[in-house]
Structure 1
Amino acid sequence: MSDTKALSDFLDLGWQRLSRGVADKRAAARHPTFATVSPDGYPEARTVVLRGADRVAGTAEVHTDGGSDKVRSLAVHPFAQLHIWDVKPKLQIRLSTSVDIRSGEDVRHKWSRVPDGSRIAYGASPTPGTPIPRADAYTKLATEDWFTVLTCKIDQIELMQLVDPHRRAVFKASDNWAGEWRVP
């Protein structure tokens, strides 16, 4: 197998696992770690639900509450990294992205597809992260007003697979995803 073919197959594996994360609630890629930088410059990481992965557009999509810390952080530093550990293929996926924050009329068509039971995740009073006197001193609003879509334009995909021998590659949008092998 040529090196170019091996790189292409490796990238295919990464996209296959991402697509599976969107379609299968049990897939590892369903719940990536989403890392940002706070307005103060501190790293932040949290688990999100992967709602979209579009290879042609080079994007990943997550939904969030518009009042969340991640939205405030992204307003200052509009970059994020998504990290996935997929145990079955022993594959680490890291997506370095620039993030577009959309809400309101721009995402109304997506809100209409959010199941009633999941709508509780959008909107809280007071807003997420606000100090409260008791664990239950808040109200969930389940409102479209706070529904926010984060479209993550993928600038770089890094794959590392812990097979024998280990292999690692980096693929960049700027070079049309040609990829290059890296030392694991």
Structure 2
Amino acid sequence: MQTLHPWAETLPQLHDHLWARLIRGVHDRHAPARHPTLATVSPSGMPQARTVVLRSADKQAATLTLYTDVHSDKVKALHTTPVAALHVWDGTAHLQTRIEASVTVLTGDTAHEHWQRVPEHSRSAYSSGPTPGEPITDALAYTKTPDQQAFAVLLLQVNTIDALHLGPQHRRALFTREDGWAGQWVVP
């Protein structure tokens, strides 16, 4: 019989564990939190989800950081509706983490410090070439030239974390900024 993970026994342990997993995702390319799913609402009101790379996680500030091309649909969506959800599934731990956040889009000078951290070989993802989603005649009919003006930082201010542990007895907890992250067990 599967035993309960010790980190799922109390609310403080679970909260600490969730943040440890997010922080690990920043530094370990094989960690489930490295490539979470980001969901936004398009200007027409449709949900949009895509895989992103987690660039930073700060437990004290309760913030997460992602990078994107300023021309991407997600930036357009966030200018209209500046909120997002992040989803991480960790099959090994049987843990689902859902995060709701307010999002600030940083560009230009406010994103310069982050741009300096982007390796040279990765900068072409933020390009003055064709914009993401633009039609092309062939699968590789594009050239991307690195351009800091095309670089955007998505700063997520975490408002809620909903954690579901699918152990021998399912457990679910909701943590909110509003209650100082004290947490509340809820029915799974």
| Aligned-pair Cα RMSD in Å | 1.1
Shift of 1:124: 4.7
> Which runs of structure 1 show a deviation greater than 6 angstroms over 4 or more consecutive aligned residues?
none
Q: Structure 2 length as normaliser, TM-score?
A: 0.92
Question: Matched residue of 2:10: which SS?
Answer: helix
Partner of 2:100: 96
- Following the alignment from structure 1 to structure 2, what is the Cα–Cα distance between the partners of residues 57 and 49? 19
Partner of 2:4: none
Partner of 2:183: 179
- Following the alignment from structure 1 to structure 2, what is the Cα–Cα distance between the partners of residues 163 and 124? 48
The counterpart of 2:111, out of the listed 91, 107, 112, is 107
- Following the alignment from structure 1 to structure 2, what is the Cα–Cα distance between the partners of residues 141 and 70? 21
Letter in 1 for 2:171: R
Deviating more after overlay: 146-155 vs 125-134: 125-134
- Paired residues, number: 180
CA distances 1:108-167 after superposition (whole Å, capped 9, x unpaired): 111111111111211152211122222223221221111110000000001011111111
- Following the alignment from structure 2 to structure 1, what is the Cα–Cα distance between the partners of residues 136 and 150? 20
Shift of 1:178: 1.1
Letter in 1 for 2:159: D
Partner of 1:147: 151
Letter in 1 for 2:108: G
- Following the alignment from structure 1 to structure 2, what is the Cα–Cα distance between the partners of residues 59 and 95? 11
- 1:42 matched to 2:42: no
- The within-5 A match list for 1:25-104 is 25-104=29-108
Structure 1 stretches of 5 or more lacking a match? none
Q: Is residue 18–residue 29 contact of structure 1 (8 Å, CA) maintained in 2?
A: yes
- Following the alignment from structure 1 to structure 2, what is the Cα–Cα distance between the partners of residues 137 and 166? 49
- Following the alignment from structure 1 to structure 2, what is the Cα–Cα distance between the partners of residues 77 and 134? 33
- Following the alignment from structure 2 to structure 1, what is the Cα–Cα distance between the partners of residues 56 and 164? 22
Q: Is residue 171–residue 178 contact of structure 1 (8 Å, CA) maintained in 2?
A: yes
- Following the alignment from structure 2 to structure 1, what is the Cα–Cα distance between the partners of residues 127 and 181? 38
Letter in 2 for 1:33: T
The counterpart of 2:16, out of the listed 9, 12, 16, is 12
Deviating more after overlay: 119-128 vs 17-26: 119-128
- Following the alignment from structure 1 to structure 2, what is the Cα–Cα distance between the partners of residues 151 and 96? 12
Partner of 2:5: none
CA distances 1:9-33 after superposition (whole Å, capped 9, x unpaired): 1111111100100111110000000
Partner of 2:3: none
Q: Structure 1 length as normaliser, TM-score?
A: 0.94
